[in-house]
Structures are given as C-alpha cells and as structure tokens.
Amino acid sequence: MRIPILSLALFLLIGVLPATLAADYKEWVAQGYRWSSVSGLHAYLSKDDAKKERSRHDKSSVSEKVRYAYYLRPGKIVLVIGTDTADGLSEIRMGGITSDLWTATKNLSMRPVKNAVGKIETPETAGIMLPTASATPGLSSGGR
C-alpha cells in the first residue's frame, strides 16, 4: 500500500510541479517581469548614464562616469516598464528603489535565474511597487 502512495508522490514532484512552475514563469514574463543576469553597477537613474555604460570601453570606474548607479545581482527580479530598442535599453522598476532605473536589455533574462542562495525570486517576494493608473503619464481620471 505504501509503494503506490510513494510512487504517486514522486510522480507529482517530478512531473507536475515543474510544469506548474514553468507556467507561472511564462505568465510573469508576459506581465513584464525579467531576471537580472549580471552582477554590478548596471542600473542607472538616467537614461544617458545607461547609454554611457554601454559605450564605456576604458578601465575607469563607473562612479567617474555617472552620478548614480545601482547594483543588479544575478537572480534579482525586476519589472520592465519601458524599452528603447534603438539604444538597447530597458526602463525597469526594482524592489526597494523608489525611482525607475535604466539598464541594458541584454542584462535581463526572460528565463528565471537563481539568486546567490539558489532560489528564484518571484514578483510576490520582490517588493516591486506596481504602477497605478493615477501615476501613469497620459492617463487621467477626469474627462475633457
């Protein structure tokens, strides 16, 4: 009697659970979530600073070139709220940061990336503030 129950539990863990998690990831990506695949000062308040980072080929430090930069770490989940395909940049929102930031789109992965402790961050645990209708440019509650 224990063997069928154990077999069923093993089947659920191996077969069904990963498919459920994969479906969740696809839904999050469709909502605009991405995972950082880089480590270092790669998120900037200014779009111009993000452009400078992309063109920086010399050995000078980031702090000598830009005013404010934030760390991205592998596995950090962010919400992409805009993209500039011509410059290869994405405007992102990150948990714990009140301002929107810019980073190179190549720094973001559509596939989950494990963080330093081997876990995959989720939107529920990231603390990202979602955009509200009143804070979205171009939208207003009153009519003309």
> What is the band of 144 on the pLDDT scale with cuts at 50, 70, 90?
very low
Domain limits of the chain? 24-130
Tell me if residue 119 falls in helix, strand or coil. Answer: coil
Mean confidence (pLDDT) of the chain: 78
Specify the range with the lowest mean pLDDT, choosing from 39-48, 65-74, 81-90, 135-144. Answer: 135-144
- Looking at per-residue confidence, does 140 or 99 come out higher? 99
Tell me if residue 133 falls in helix, strand or coil. Answer: helix
Write the pLDDT tens digit of every residue in 14-27.
544 444 455 588 99
Strands (E), the chain: 33-36, 40-44, 69-72, 77-84, 89-94, 101-104, 108-109
Buried b vs exposed e over 75-99: b needs ≥16 C-beta within 10 Å?
bbbbbbeeeeeeeebbbbbbeebee
